[in-house]
A and B are shown apart, each in its own frame.
Chain A
Amino acid sequence: QVQLVQSGAEVKKPGASVKVSCKASGYNFNSNDINWVRQATGQGLEWMGWMNPNSGNTGYAQKFQGRVTMTRNTSISTAYMELSSLRSEDTAIYYCARGRSSSGWYGLDYWGQGILVAVSS
């Protein structure tokens, strides 16, 4: 069965960077994009960007341009999201999610369990 397993919680100081991982199993990792979505406590979902594991191509929301980097290691079916220059407003749960496309449609059909990233001095 398809699974996305994310790394553990992180606590960082303002100005630092965080790199979180998302290990995929149960399907061909190269066949589907990995998207990243975050959710601040008690708030809604915010889409951050996508990465194609096969090509390494990425697309980021303008809000995160220059601060976010999405990469992968295909040999271990793992995607990474690094966010730099952290501030308190970046405190959130970060989800990875598999993108699925068909006949022009695109959606997020499997999600990781989420990682809490807390930014505090």
Chain B
Amino acid sequence: DIQMTQSPSSLSASVGDRVTITCRASQSITSHLNWYQQKPGKAPELLIYAASSLESGVPSRFSGSGSGTDFTLTISSLHPEDIATYYCQQSYSTPYTFGQGTKLEIK
């Protein structure tokens, strides 16, 4: 199975900050990487697919980059409603494993 490792596990930032979350795969997954946002008590939502494509309806302050084994999710200017846990997921091969999550809090 491909292991996905996110860092940091938790993050505290101020409104307006630029926030970066990283995700590393245990082997190359080319660009088969998705990012999801999960707010407390809610189902996850797709944010970024194919490493860098923004899902329809997602604010443009979210962006993704990377290929191979190293990927990043960036929020260019943190909004209060971005408080959530973020997960990466590889869709290169089954099982489609997730990272352990990054919990983002407001400072």
Interface residues of A (CB under 8 A from B): 35, 37, 44-47, 49-50, 59, 61-63, 95, 97, 103-109, 111-114
Closest-by-CB residue of A relative to B53 is: A105
Q: Does B83 contact A (CB under 8 A)?
A: no
Inter-subunit contact A106/B43 (CB<8 Å): no
Give complex CA distance A91, B87 in Å.
21
Inter-subunit contact B50/A105 (CB<8 Å): yes
Give complex CA distance A64, B107 in Å.
40
Q: Assuming A108-B46, A111-B44, A112-B43, is B95 touching A47 (CB within 8 A)?
A: yes
Q: Does B94 contact A (CB under 8 A)?
A: yes
Inter-subunit contact A95/B43 (CB<8 Å): yes
Inter-subunit contact B44/A107 (CB<8 Å): no
Give complex CA distance A101, B94 in Å.
14
> B35-74 vs A: 1/0 string, CB under 8 Å?
0101000011110011001010000000000000000000
Q: Can you name 7 extra interface pairs (CB under 8 A) apart from A46-B98, A106-B96, A107-B89?
A: A44-B99, A47-B89, A47-B96, A97-B43, A105-B49, A107-B50, A109-B55
Q: Does B22 contact A (CB under 8 A)?
A: no
| Chain B interface residue number, banded | 20 to 34
A-B contacts, 25 listed (Cβ < 8 Å): A37-B44, A44-B98, A45-B38, A45-B44, A45-B101, A47-B95, A47-B96, A47-B97, A47-B98, A50-B94, A59-B94, A61-B94, A62-B95, A63-B95, A97-B44, A103-B50, A105-B31, A105-B49, A105-B50, A105-B91, A106-B32, A107-B50, A108-B46, A109-B46, A111-B43
Number of A-B contacts (CB under 8 A): 64
Interface residues of B (CB under 8 A from A): 1, 31-32, 34, 36, 38, 43-46, 49-50, 53, 55, 87, 89, 91, 94-101
Q: Which residues of A contact B94 (CB under 8 A)?
A: 50, 59, 61
Say how far A39's CB is from chain B's closest CB, in angstroms. 9
